[in-house]
């Protein structure tokens, strides 16, 4: 089997893209789709075994990929990693700023270290990766950057540190779109809603029932797939989005558009798109 993308197979032929957080979840799926569309993918992550595993998957599927260990929160590490990618691949066409993470807690239970750790991961790290991709390569050649944020519209109760960082990333996206547009670099963001992804298995036991109920709060009455987010990312990287700059595309089934207060009847005609041939259901959603 191979990735069943909605885009033509040679869309990104011989192009090079960095995908941070490429060892799991949405990053893994996006890396596979980019590879299926002809790109060489540089997988970046903190854990060597995860990025090496995805690299092996892509090679097995006939694609091209490299694996790079980097803590995106550390400036010198980011500089060196981007330089190493350019040395290995000879060029760079775009960046998918996907790496991130958080832990559930009300604001009153978040100490300074926890707050700063999440902000460094979801905001500072994304800025460092984008800046180095731009200054080391894209400023000269043009290209595209897609920053992955989250559904934080109207606040993010229970994860206020992440919500603040993601909102900052949207504003950074808008600023970079203006400053870097003259170099032919487009900067956009994608805000996934509730996506059935492996990250759901990282939350504690007491959240499992709540996680399983999330789809009921979406107007189309289901969670999204990793493939549906990846398709949006690939579009924003593609020539079809050549005049899209500084925008944030919400991939949330309309959950951020008022469904929290509007009564939602039983839905119909809401089949998901799942083109990822190596996708698997998170354990929390497959348990009885």
CA angle 97, 129, 145 (to 5 degrees): 45
Residue 122 has pLDDT above 90, yes or no: yes
DSSP one-letter string for 40-104: EEEEEES-HHHHHHHHHHHHHTT-EEEEEE--TT-HHHHHHHHHHHHHHHS---EEEE-------
Residue 86 has pLDDT above 90, yes or no: yes
CA angle 155, 196, 148 (to 5 degrees): 50
- 258 pLDDT band (50/70/90 cuts)? low
Dump pLDDT digits (tens) for 169-204: 999 999 999 999 999 999 999 999 989 887 777 777
DSSP state of 143: E
Between helices 48-60 and 25-36, what is the axis angle to 10°?
Answer: 30
Average pLDDT over residues 229-252: 98
DSSP state of 241: G
Domains of the chain: 16-286 (3.40.50.720)
Residue 121 has pLDDT above 80, yes or no: yes
Dump pLDDT digits (tens) for 195-239: 988 777 777 777 788 778 887 888 888 999 999 999 999 999 999
Between 152 and 67, whose confidence is greater?
67
- 288 pLDDT band (50/70/90 cuts)? low
Average pLDDT over residues 127-140: 98
Q: How far is CA 13 from CA 8, 22, 38, in A?
A: 10, 20, 4
Q: What's the CA gap between 70 and 55, in Å, rounded?
A: 15
């Amino acid at each position: 089997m191979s990735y069943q993308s909605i885009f033509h197979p040679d869309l990104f032929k011989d192009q090079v893209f960095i995908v941070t957080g490429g060892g799991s979840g949405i990053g893994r799926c996006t890396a596979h789709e980019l590879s299926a569309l002809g790109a060489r993918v540089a997988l970046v992550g903190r854990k060597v075994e995860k990025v090496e595993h995805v690299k092996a998957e892509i090679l097995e599927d006939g694609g091209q990929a490299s694996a790079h260990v980097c803590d995106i929160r550390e400036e010198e590490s980011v500089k060196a990693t981007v330089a190493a990618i350019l040395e290995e691949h000879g060029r760079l066409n775009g960046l998918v700023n996907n790496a991130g993470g958080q832990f559930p807690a009300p604001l009153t239970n978040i100490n300074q270290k926890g707050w700063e750790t999440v902000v460094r991961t979801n905001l500072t790290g994304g800025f460092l990766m984008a800046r180095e991709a731009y200054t080391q390569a894209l400023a000269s050649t043009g290209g595209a950057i897609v920053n992955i944020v989250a559904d934080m519209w109207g606040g993010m109760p229970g994860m206020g540190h992440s919500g603040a960082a993601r909102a900052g990333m949207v504003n950074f996206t808008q600023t970079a779109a203006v400053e870097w547009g003259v170099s032919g670099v487009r900067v956009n963001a994608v805000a996934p809603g509730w996506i059935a992804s492996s990250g759901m298995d990282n939350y504690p036991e007491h959240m499992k029932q709540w996680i399983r109920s999330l789809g009921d709060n979406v107007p189309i009455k289901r969670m999204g797939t990793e493939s549906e987010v990846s398709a949006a990312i690939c579009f924003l990287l593609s020539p079809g989005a050549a005049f899209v700059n500084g925008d944030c595309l919400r991939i949330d089934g309309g959950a951020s558009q008022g469904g929290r207060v509007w009564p939602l009847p039983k839905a119909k005609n809401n089949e998901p798109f799942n083109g990822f041939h190596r996708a698997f259901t998170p354990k929390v959603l497959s348990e009885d």
